Every structure is written in structure tokens, then in C-alpha cells.
Amino acid sequence: QMAGRSIEAAADALTLHQHVLYHQSKLYPGLEKVLDAISLASKIISGKVRTMGLSGVVGKTGEKNVQGEEVNILDELSNTVMIKRILDSGEVCAVVTEEEEEFATPSTDLPGRRGYVVSIDPLDGSSNIDCNVPIGTIFGIFPRTSAGDGKGTLADCLQPGRNLIGAGYVIYGPSTMMVYASAEGTFGFTLDPSVGDYLLTHRNMMIPNVCKNFSVNEGNTAYFYPGDLALVAWLKEEDKETSRPLGARYVGSLISDFHRNLLYGGLFFYPHDKKSKKTPNGKLRLLYECAPVSYIAKMSGGKGSTGAMDVLDVVPTDIHQRVPIYVGNKDWVERAESFVRGDYV
Ligand code: AHG
Ligand code: MN
Ligand code: MN
């Protein structure tokens, strides 16, 4: 079965639940129930996204979140549904979510082991919701570090990406897909609405050896540090040997840019820049954006870097900590590091 080719007879395709049960549950008891919860919540979100103009999830709530960003109705719905389903699984002691200042914890009278921590970006690409461009959900799963099976602690949440036991994303695009990575590799599942489940369509996904595109918001170059300006110019130069110039592709939903680069090869970066004092370390958040996608990249033969170090080695000091990120083909990420290392402490 060639990597990435979809399986003709969906009838015999494994479900996400079966995949986790077969591959991980001996090592991580109850993990399949965490994925069931995220999967169920994502099906609810997918149903709303599919009929967005009719299901009342377009537009804003009028509130701002802890990031100071305006909260979309779909952000809020996705956040509420994800937190509830994940905590009700009984297998999770803490949920770190973009939309909550503090991490959320379960009531302890629920049966369950509460052995895992989940970091989640319930709705990634919010600026693309109203214009029908693909958006997603991003998640990471850590083992709890505190003793016992009670509510999780802040220390349980502040773990480096190196500790992840699984990470994935849902992309609400022309098809709704769940991509899930673990030590077993990266697998893609396509939601079949008539079955109501995610069926395996992409086995052992690996980033191809070619790097087709670079993805960066060039609207910010006026605020870029010299290394990033030099990198962007270099990517655009003509040089047959290194297949430059690369194409430019930037969707504005991390998950869409990342998914395309996973399948076609590519280098995505969101550097730190001089634009906003609020985000001296770039815009993207470590625990629920950069660490999960860097973990998936690593399990697919790629890499995620802050420009100065592997994203997976960054130990968070705050649950909403931001880091610069360069993620995609390993050799291209390392080229990018050589341009920007001078700009990063
Ligand atoms: P979110 O909608 O969860 O806040 O994430 C948006 C992020 C990410 O999806 C995307 O790569 C990036 O914001 C785009 O930022 P710019 O619009 O500044 O390029
Ligand atoms: Mn996001
Ligand atoms: Mn978000």
C-alpha cells in the first residue's frame, strides 16, 4: 500500500478508534477514549461547518479571548464541545485550550483514570471561517506527570513537545480529515458522513523529499529581522540545483498550510518580528499549535524549529507561550535555521 494513496474499498478501512486500540492502548490504557472524544467533538464541529451559513456559526460573539483576539461563534462552540467531550472521557486530568485563560479540569466523581493531558486549538484559522476557507482543530496528548488520578496541575500542562505521546489535527476542508501521529507513524482518516466515522485513507504519511512551496505571511516583511528577509529572498532566487524558486502558498490557516506541505513537501514559517510588542516571539502558540505540528512533522520525517532550537525541546513557562516556528522538510528547516540563527537568542 503506497504511502498517501487512499484505500479503494473504504469498507475494509480501519476506523480511528481501531487504529489507536491496535497501536497504542497496550502502552497507554484508555487513550482510544481520548481520541473518541476528540473525534466525536470534531464530527459535531464538521456538521456545523458544512452548513455554516445556515447553522448560525458565522460571525463573532462580541467577546475577546485571553489572547485579546475577537472570539468567533464557531471558536466558542468548538471550544465548549471539545472541552466537554474530552473531560467526560474520564481519561484526561487537564485541558489547555487557546480559548481559556486557565487549564480546564474534570470533576473527579467521574469514573476513569485521568492519566492524560490534552492541549487544543479548538478552531484554527478563525480569520477564514466566514469566507469558507478550510479551518481545523489541532491537539496534542501528554501523559500526566503528577501522581494519582485526580485533577491535573499546572506542572502537568507545562511539558515540552518531546513528551507528547500523540498529536493530530482535523482539517474541515472539501473532505473532513483527521491526521493522527504517534510513535507508530502518521495516519490519515477521512470522515464518511454516511457512516459517521473516520476511516483510514492515508497510511504512514511521510513528507516527500521535494519541497514544493514556502508559506509565510509576506505582508509582515516590513517588520522582519534581517535573517528572515534574507531567507525569503533566497527562497525566491533561481537555482535549478536546489529547485528554487519555490512556489508561494499561504492559506492563513496553519492547519491547511501544514497539511498541504505534509503531502507535497514545503516550508512553513511564522517568524518573530518587530510588528507587535505583544508577540515578540511570533504569533503561534507552543502548546496547541507549534508543538503538535512539530511532533507530527517529526513523525513524518520532517522537523519543527524555533530558529534557534527544536520546538519539541522548548519547556513552556506559560500555557499560552508563543514561539517562532519553521516547520516542514527537515533539510529546508535546517537551511532556514542557518539564515535566522543569528537573529535568535
Ligand atoms: P487561530 O485562528 O487559532 O488564532 O490561528 C490562526 C493562526 C494560524 O492558523 C495561521 O497560520 C496564522 O494565525 C495566520 O496569521 P496571520 O494572519 O498573521 O498570517
Ligand atoms: Mn490556531
Ligand atoms: Mn484557534
126 lines ligand 1 (CB under 6 A): yes
Indicate which residue's Cα is closest to atom 16 of ligand 1.
252
> Which grid cell sits at 140?
496534542
- Per-residue pLDDT at 1: 45
How do the pLDDT tens digits run along the chain, 345 residues long?
445 455 455 567 899 999 999 999 999 999 999 999 999 999 999 999 999 989 888 899 999 988 888 899 999 999 999 999 999 999 999 999 999 999 999 999 988 999 999 999 999 999 999 999 999 999 999 999 999 999 999 999 999 999 999 999 999 999 999 999 999 999 999 999 999 999 999 999 999 999 999 999 999 999 999 999 999 999 999 999 999 999 999 999 999 999 999 999 999 999 999 988 777 899 999 999 999 999 999 999 999 999 999 999 999 999 999 999 999 999 999 999 999 987 765
> Which ligand 1 atom lies nearest to the CA of residue 126?
2
CB 78 near ligand 1, within 6 Å? no
Residue 2: predicted pLDDT: 47
Q: Please name the residues in contact with 84: beta carbons below 8 A apart, sequence gap of 6 or more.
A: 41
Residue located via cell numbers 505582508:
219
User: What is the pLDDT at residue 344?
Assistant: 67
CA 46 vs CA 190, 192, 231, 314: distances in Å: 12, 11, 37, 32
Nearest ligand to residue 252 Cα: 1
The CA–CA distances, whole Å, from 323 to 241, 283, 312 equal 32, 7, 11
Q: What is the pLDDT of residue 279?
A: 79
Residue to mutate (ligand 1; options 64, 75, 77, 126; most atoms within 8 A of CB):
126
Residue 36 Cβ contacting ligand 1 at under 6 Å: no
Nearest CA to ligand 1 atom 6: 125
CA 44, 140, 13, 203 torsion: positive or negative?
positive
Pocket flag, ligand 1, residue 42 (CB < 6 Å): no
Tell me how far apart the alpha carbons of residues 142 and 234 are, in angstroms, rounded to a whole number.
38
Q: End-to-end CA distance of the chain: give it in Å, rounded.
A: 45
Please report, for residues 34, 225, 240, the alpha-carbon distance to residue 268 in angstroms, rounded to integers and kept in the order given. Answer: 29, 17, 21
Closest atom, ligand 1, to C-alpha of 98: 3
Say yes or no: CB of residue 252 within 6 Å of ligand 1: yes
Q: How long is the chain?
A: 345
As to burial, measured by CB atoms within 10 angstroms (0-12 exposed, 13-18 middle, 19+ buried), residue 44 is middle
What tens digit of pLDDT does each residue of 79-94 get? 999 999 999 999 999 9
- 253: Cβ below 6 Å to ligand 1? yes
Residues forming a β-bridge with 119: 96, 140
User: 185 CB less than 6 Å from ligand 1?
Assistant: no
- pLDDT reported for residue 343: 75
Which among 244, 245, 320, 246 has a CA at the least distance from the CA of 282? 320
Give the predicted TM-score (pTM) of the model: 0.96
Q: Which atom of ligand 1 is nearest to the CA of 124?
A: 3
Backbone angles phi, psi at 2, to 5 degrees: -65, 140
- Ligand 1 site, residue 48, Cβ cutoff 6 A: no
Sheet holding 213-215, edge to edge: 247-248, 213-215, 266-270, 325-328, 303-305
Cell representation of residue 256? 491547511
